[in-house]
Structure 1
Amino acid sequence: MASTCPNCGKKLRIWDVKAECSSCGVSIPNYNWQARLEEDNIKAEKQFAVFNRTMNRIAYSIYGTKLRIVRLILTFLPAIGFILPWATLKSDGESFDLSIISFSGKKSLIDFFSSFFGDINLYITNMKFEGFGGAVTLGVAGYILFVLSALFIVIAFFLNIIMCKKPKTKSTIVFDALSVAASVAAVVCFVMSGSLAQQFTAFNFGDFPVINGGASVSWGYFVAIVLLFAATGINIAVAKAPAKSDETLEEERLARKAKKEEKERQKQIEREKANAEAEKAVAEEEAKKVEEAKAKLAARAKKKQ
């Protein structure tokens, strides 16, 4: 309850429980309800305007132009590159692929994480033994950088939607570049891990034995790096391309809405016209039947005469 009457200003006490003011008799809950209703309408219109602008921006950011549609495809395609082998560490014991999964029976990122989080202390002990600069350390770093590269490209993909209100933003380009840099570092670390492995006859990569190991870059990385550069390039092109203003997008939305409503109106007119013609046809058919019946009755009456 208000502390004073909004009409006369009389101070309201705790025992003033009636809706009407004891002094002027005005209904306090309904006081100036038309003005308050108008205020609510204005607030609702503003909220709908903000909602429409946001939806316009999201739609425009995703598929507003042909260039943005191409961007949507090219920023998603790099995901394919992460299931391909980027580098391979071969040995007479266990072999490893720098990829999310391996189709050749080698250990992959999934196997590494399962082993790593199963016994982190074992990996730390192995890396500490080689002074945090040997084959195990570089192999672990390669897998971690591989994950970071994937994470950066995913962030870049979702930033296209999150940053829809800023069509000229360079944030997606930054994360694309970070993904490329992390991918290069991941492959370098993995290959260097294989080079160091050649210096030892055998060692343990966590709980995996590596015997006479050696590493090389795989064909999948060349596919992956092309897709990553393509994603970066298309984001640069979109950032440099002219972008429509909120006012233009709202005008286009209203134009599409008006066109849709006009189309629906025309369909309704056609349906009403068709119904009217059908009713007219039925009425004509009924009139024809009545005329025929009258003619038959007249003919019978004439025969009786």
Structure 2
Amino acid sequence: MPSQLLVCDLDNTLYDWVDYFVPAFYAMVDRATEILGCDKADLLVDLRKVHQKHHDTEHPFALLETEIVSNHFPDFSLEQKAAHLDSAFHSFNSVRKTHLQLYDGVLDTLNALQSENVTLVAHTEGKLYSVLGRLRQLNILDRFNSIYCRERAQGGIKTEAESEEWLKKFPEVNIKELPPEDRKPNAQVLLDICDLEGFSPSDAVYVGDSIGKDIYMAQNAGVFSAWAKYGNNVNSEKYRALVAVSHWTTEDIDRESAVKAAATGTVPDLVLENSFAEILPCLKRRNSA
């Protein structure tokens, strides 16, 4: 029987989210600018407004909700707009395929954890469609017993029936959508995950790249915390490009500041300096204890 639970953050823990998303997003913007004949800076401002409206920088098909697109295609349905901008979305997907890669050693580590009968669970603040799309492309969906993510984005070109049909493509994993209030670093969310997976907090390990969200949450839940320090090595130029279109409002920034302040002095139980693989010796020691 599995003796340990590993709850794993995804973005910047298993892969570099900024490194893949920013080039893909801006490739889409460049192609859309050509199609629409608009100013790129204006389109970026429009996209940020849509992201802020949905509190999500990865909002699906955000381009279709921009004022520039609405003015360019005033009488078109969302499906018609999507058809005219298809090559822009293709640009995003094409660049994503080349840039979205697991960190070195992640796949071998996940396989080793499975062989050790460790129950693997993903916990992320990414929304449903984006999370499943990434994990499917990375071919690691079946490594997780469950996936806990933010609830699916509203709107877009999928009807509710189409959304449910799309989800049937993922029968191999238990998916739990969390409401907006169940956000990191709410320790109760992690306690609920442990309970739902059938483990006590003392038999769980949480690994993530954020001290203020992941590590602080784990420690408040009485869960062993492993900080993916390597996940903080983010390209500064790409990060600035991300900030320019991010969903962060003044309220979001204030919340982040409050989270950081609350987590001041938090020290992880384990630091993963260079790779996800550094979690293995720790789990083996805990299993033999």
TM-score, normalised with respect to structure 2? 0.23
- Specify the structure having the higher radius of gyration (Cα): 1
Structure with greater helix percent: 1
TM-score, normalised with respect to structure 1? 0.22
Higher RCO structure (Cα 8 Å, ≥6 apart): 2
